[in-house]
Amino acid sequence: MQVYLVGGAVRDQLLGHPYHEKDYVVVGATPDQLLAEGYQPVGKDFPVFLHPKTKEEYALARTERKSGVGYHGFQFFTDADVSLEEDLIRRDLTINAMAMDANGQVYDPYGGQKDLEQKILRHVSHAFTEDPLRVLRVARFAARYESYGFKIADETLHLMREIAESGELNELTPERVWKETARALMEDHADVYFKILRECHALKILFPEVDALFGVPQRPEYHPEIDCGIHTLMALQQACKADYALDVRFAVLVHDLGKALTPIEELPRHVMHEERGIQPVTVLCDRLKVPTHLKNLALTVCKEHLKCHQVQILKPGTLWRFLQRLDVLRRPEKVRAFVQACECDARGRLGMEDRPYPQAQFILNAMDIVRNIRAQDLPEHVKGPEIGEMLIQYRIEALADFKAQLEKQ
């Protein structure tokens, strides 16, 4: 029995990129042998075991054969006679098809080290086309290693287009699409993921609402980059640069979906795009089964981001109602996430990437003001329904004082 470290841990170790998970492949063993040594079985489709002490995953070397559609349509075969080379050839990219033994010796039958040095993402074999999920995985790797200068090999990009045009992407479950996308959104260059999906014609299949933004013009005085799709990816770049959380990054991605629905005769203006965006954001979230708290923030950013940009000129009463819609009293963390997303929108424009966004601190200060006014601060004679009315009055007055003090500065 021989044990090898495989996949991402080998790749990232050679690249000098941080990694946390380790996966191992076991050659020349049977399930009974691993069970006898205390390994715990966890695999459903093929034998995968947890190490009795480290709890790291150990998979028996295996081969596979396409037997149906989608990424589930495979039959796996494990046997003590399956070689390391046979196991590695079924992997997606050459840089993921390397193994390392306990002595640090690298086994690289398919040229992964050379592609790592030349910064190329290249498929191992034509079997690449049998798994549609690999389109998303390669796009995610492109986003992850963008800062290293990695590019996708032309022939691999061709196969990705082939998969997209075959219709097999439609066989992916919403859960798998969302899982890959959520991971991609947390990369330092998440915008590259969507650029690659668009380049291989997968964006219009998996994210038609986002794809529809490309080619839609905006007023150049507000958006020098003009194209709505380019603006969206520039705003996403800002969210990555600031290292914002997943909910903020996703909200930024979908904040302008309504602009794809602007009537042609109204272009390049986008009046009412906030309201028009509610339907496509909802459809996208429901289709991909996006977690509820991400969907809620995305809808709020879609509906209210222009109000955030204009917040400093709102009257005190209008400002209070705006803060109420943000759920300022119960969800201060949502307000902070909302402000972050709107800041990315404001800075995701050509030549405006570093401009100040005082609206952010304005809203956070206003939030603190209204949250610090509580029922115990009211006169003792105020009772019952009057409490709520008086709290609103006090909060609006406090916002008026806040605005007045700023105007004096």
- What pLDDT does residue 388 have? 76
Contact 306, 274 (CB under 8 A): yes
- What pLDDT does residue 91 have? 92
Strands 57-60, 48-50: parallel, antiparallel or unpaired by DSSP? antiparallel
Q: Taken in order 173, 341, 218, 237, is the CA torsion positive or negative?
A: negative
> Which H, E and C letters describe 213-248, residue by residue?
CCCCECCCCCCCCCEHHHHHHHHHHHHHHCCCCHHH
| Token pair 């991909």 in the structure block, residue | 288
- What pLDDT does residue 45 have? 64
Q: Which of 41-50, 82-91, 119-128, 324-333 has the lowest mean pLDDT?
A: 41-50
CATH number of 1-113: 3.30.460.10
Query: Is 8 a known ligand-binding residue?
Result: yes
Distance CA 152, CA 361 (A): 41
Query: Is 140 a known ligand-binding residue?
Result: yes
Query: Is 23 a known ligand-binding residue?
Result: yes
Asked if residue 67 has pLDDT above 60, the reply is no
Q: Taken in order 35, 41, 47, 49, is the CA torsion positive or negative?
A: negative
Query: Is 336 a known ligand-binding residue?
Result: no
Looking at this protein, which amino acid is placed at residue 127?
A
Asked if residue 402 has pLDDT above 60, the reply is yes
Predicted confidence (pLDDT) per residue in 146-202, tens digit: 999 999 999 999 999 999 999 999 999 999 999 999 999 999 999 999 999 999 999
Asked if residue 71 has pLDDT above 60, the reply is no
Specify the 3-state DSSP secondary structure of 310.
coil
pTM value is 0.91
- What pLDDT does residue 389 have? 84
Cα Rg of the chain (Å, integer): 26
Specify the 3-state DSSP secondary structure of 77.
strand
Query: Is 137 a known ligand-binding residue?
Result: yes
Contact 70, 175 (CB under 8 A): no
Predicted confidence (pLDDT) per residue in 372-387, tens digit: 987 767 776 667 777 7
Asked if residue 295 has pLDDT above 60, the reply is yes
The DSSP line for 175-186 is HHHHHHHHHHHT
Closest of 370, 340, 372 to residue 357, by C-alpha: 340
Query: Is 11 a known ligand-binding residue?
Result: yes
